Amino acid sequence: MEITSAIQQDFLELDSEMTVSQMAGKLKQYEKRLGLVFRNNKYLGLVEKKKLLRTNVSAEAKISNFVQKTTLLGENADIVETAYLMFQSNVDFLPVERDREIVGVIRGMDIADLALAIPEVANLKVGDLRFEKTARVNKYDPVSTAINLMYEQHVDHVPVFESGKLYGILSYK
């Protein structure tokens, strides 16, 4: 099954000479989570807002210092191959190209939605997908502990416990 139906134009084009402060302002203004970074119309990679969460970043630093190089997908890429590439690259988005031009991005959540149409996935149980060791924090732990766990374990959400019982879930957002 191909990714074609899930390709979106949900990204901003950013110049590599832009500062982190300028990028953050643009992402906020347009309510986007990532930008594709270009230098002289050549794709360099992407910058996700959440990847800057843990780093000590100067607002005046160039975003070219934080670019994550990614594979460009063809618009007819396979769902399973795309999911594997996302996992290997530790990204939530991958850019999609047609005729050597970027036409959009594919989100990890859209890949998950498309995967529901695969017969083998329909029979999976939650227990089949669970993590061996889940990141978790206690209610009174410092927020920096949760941020470090999210960064180190490549997760967006961390369960919060109080007295051994689930208190809530903390998201990087």
DSSP 14-72: EETT-BHHHHHHHHHHTT-SEEEEEETTEEEEEEEGGGGSSS---TTSBGGGGPBP-PP
The pTM of the whole model exceeds 0.85: no
d(CA 31, CA 33): 7
pLDDT at residue number 46? 92
CA-closest candidate to residue 1, choices 86, 121, 99: 121
Q: What is the pLDDT along the chain (173 residues), one digit of tens a residue?
A: 889 888 888 889 999 999 988 998 998 899 888 899 999 999 999 988 777 765 667 888 899 988 989 989 999 999 989 988 988 888 888 999 999 899 999 998 899 888 888 887 778 787 776 666 677 899 999 988 888 888 777 777 889 999 989 999 998 76
d(CA 112, CA 110): 5
Q: What are phi and psi of 43, to 5 degrees?
A: -70, 125
CA-closest candidate to residue 150, choices 130, 173, 128, 127: 173
pLDDT at residue number 95? 94
